[in-house]
């Protein structure tokens, strides 16, 4: 287990698709041993390693794992699409069977009982933040039922040269709200190593994260600087030394269990164009709208499950629409809308700073949100911002320990 998995339970290949499949291999070995009276051949460390592997799957599945059956054209899938995951492989029946298998393997685990029984017995797992720092994946959620909200972020310490399933995607995210995935990861499309399609989907600017001069990041050494749970918000501060002279710090507040605020700071001496990329979900032109004049986007789905996105910056920016793609199944892709916010950064600018509000609401087109910097100057150890959402003002901040 130590050769294939990190200490936190993540597969070193860094692909959830293979991660889930590999658990079955280890579990089957234990079942065969038990059937032949050889359980004692497995040390306790082996069993506990499987428990940690299961924790990854448990926390990475979306709250609709027991509701929807993923099918072609259904973007309410139940697993993130980072790397090579191919979420159409994980249907309702398969994921529920896994939870039941894990419950039987670990009968003392009340949370697995809850997941396996769809809440009929056991104890619901905790909400808030879950960090898998070795594997570089982080989740923030307010619940475990279909109506819940959940964000998954990836900020790994491996590059595509070190782990074949990795992409140049550090500090990217997916956002699930009430069964809808608003920022599905682009996926992989092709399984052919080195193909132009695979390389295109792996590019940094095909993920919802920050780039410099539209280039791939040159370093994937993601770290978590802070994970904090409070009564008024949950906070993650993730950082990656993305380029020579430009580090990307992404701070995410989940405020009142209702909406997200993302502070992106590209800091360092680099001079050029800093790009903030967002890739939206597929939808009709009337359902998914890029608002270039407001540096954002909104959705207008008839079911009232919608999202308002607005970005505010510390310098002048320009916003341009893009065409993106999302692939949930090998050799299949669907076109979607995307956009890029550009800021010119001089060598004298300490940082390019962007505040983005992600506000789930029924009628996004009619909502207004605002954000500004309380601390005008960038600091390597702190930030204070002000946001107004739903007519209420919020002061958000972080304070970091200095780097060693």
Residue 328 CA to residue 70 CA, distance in Å, equals 10
Task: Note if 18 is an active site residue.
Answer: yes
Of the residues 5, 18, 59, 189, only one is catalytic, namely 18
**Do 90 and 24 touch, CB atoms closer than 8 A?**
no
**Other CB atoms closer than 10 Å to residue 52's CB: what's the count?**
17
- Bridge partners of residue 164, in order along the sequence: none
**269 Cβ contact partners less than 8 Å away, ≥ 6 residues apart:** 245, 347
Beta bridge partners of 351: 267
For residue 304, what are its two tokens?
């009232």
Residue for token pair 């599945």: 61
* Residue 177 to residue 148: CA distance in whole angstroms: 6
Number of CB atoms found within 10 A of residue 229's CB: 14
CB contact at 8 A, 213 and 153: no
Q: Which residues pair with 276 in a beta bridge?
A: 210, 341
- Known catalytic residues are 18
């Amino acid at each position: 287990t130590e050769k294939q998995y990190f200490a936190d339970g993540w597969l070193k290949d860094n692909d959830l698709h293979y991660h889930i499949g590999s658990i079955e291999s280890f579990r089957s070995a234990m079942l065969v041993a038990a059937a032949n009276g050889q359980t004692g051949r497995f040390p306790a460390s082996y069993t506990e390693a499987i428990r940690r592997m299961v924790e990854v799957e448990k926390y990475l599945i979306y709250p609709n794992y027991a509701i929807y059956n993923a099918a072609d054209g259904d973007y309410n899938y139940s697993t993130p699409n980072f790397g090579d995951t191919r979420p159409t492989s994980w249907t309702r029946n398969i994921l529920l069977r896994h939870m039941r298998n894990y419950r039987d393997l670990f009968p003392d685990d009340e949370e697995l009982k809850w997941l396996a029984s769809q809440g009929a017995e056991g104890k619901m797992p905790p909400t808030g933040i879950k960090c898998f720092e070795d594997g570089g994946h982080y989740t923030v959620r307010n619940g475990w039922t279909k109506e819940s909200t959940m964000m998954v972020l990836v900020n790994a310490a491996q590059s595509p040269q070190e782990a074949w399933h990795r992409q140049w995607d550090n500090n990217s995210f997916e956002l699930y709200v009430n069964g809808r995935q608003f920022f599905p990861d682009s996926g992989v499309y092709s399984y052919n190593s080195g193909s132009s399609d695979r390389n295109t989907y792996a590019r940094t600017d095909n993920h919802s994260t920050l780039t410099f001069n539209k280039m791939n990041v040159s370093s994937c050494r993601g770290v978590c600087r802070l994970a904090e749970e409070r009564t008024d918000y949950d906070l993650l501060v993730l950082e990656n030394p993305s380029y020579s002279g430009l580090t990307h710090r992404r701070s995410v507040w989940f405020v009142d269990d209702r909406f997200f605020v993302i502070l992106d700071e590209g800091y360092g001496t680099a001079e050029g164009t800093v790009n903030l990329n967002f890739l939206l979900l597929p939808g009709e032109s009337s359902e998914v709208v890029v608002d270039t004049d407001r540096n954002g986007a909104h959705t207008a789905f008839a079911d009232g499950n919608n999202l308002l996105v607005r970005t505010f910056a510390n310098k002048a920016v320009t916003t341009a629409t893009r065409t993106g793609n999302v692939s949930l199944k090998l050799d299949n892709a669907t076109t979607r809308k995307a956009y890029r916010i550009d800021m010119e950064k001089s060598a004298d600018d300490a940082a390019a700073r962007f505040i983005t509000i992600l506000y789930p609401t029924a009628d996004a087109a009619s909502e207004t949100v605002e954000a500004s910097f309380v601390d005008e100057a960038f600091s390597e150890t702190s930030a204070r911002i002000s946001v107004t959402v739903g007519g209420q003002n919020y002061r958000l901040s972080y304070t970091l320990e200095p780097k060693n």
